[in-house]
Amino acid sequence: MTATLRPATPDDVPAIFSFSQALSEYEKLAHEMVGTQADLHKGLFGPRPYAEAIVAEVDGNIVASATYFYSFSTFLMKPGVYLEDLFVLPEYRRRGIATDLLKYLAAHALSQGCGRLEWSVLDWNEDAIAFYRRIGAVLMDEWTGCRVSGEALVNLSKDRELNS
C-alpha cells in the first residue's frame, strides 16, 4: 500500500487535531492537551505560522500526519527540523507510512539546508524506539528534556517585559 504524502492544508486541521488527541491518549498525556482546533489552525496557517505539517493519504483519506518546526543548532550553525508529532492510524501501521513520512522530512530538511532531523520519544515506547533505531536514529540518552509551562512559565516571566 502506497500513501500519498503532501503538505497539509487548512482543510486538514480537523484530521491533524484528531491525530494529536489520539497521540496524547496513547502517550497517557491527554490531560495536557488543552489546545483547540482553532489554536492548531493558527499555529499552522495563521499570520505567523509556528509549525508545518504533512499528511499521508490512502484512497483519499488522511491516515497519518507529521507536525514539525525549525530549530537552530549553534554547534552546526545550521537550522534543523524538529518533529513534534508523528501519528499513523492504528489500522495503517506497519505498512511503511511512518518511514515514508520520515524520509519525506529528511529530504525536506536537506532541501532547506538543515543539518539534522530530531524528535523525542517516551522511554517506555519500546516499539517506537526499536523502529527509530532501525531507520538509523541515535537515541540521546545523556540528554534530559526541560520544560517550563503553565503557571511556572507565567512566574518565570514576572517582572520582565519585552520591548516589542
Positions annotated as catalytic residues are: 132
Amino acid at 77: M
Q: Which alpha helices (H) appear in 12-70, and where do they start and end?
A: 13-26, 37-45
20: Cα separation from own chain's centroid: 9
CB contact at 8 A, 91 and 42: no
5: CB partners within 8 A, 6+ apart = 54, 55, 56, 57, 100, 101, 104
Q: Where are the beta strands (DSSP E) in 98-162?
A: 117-119
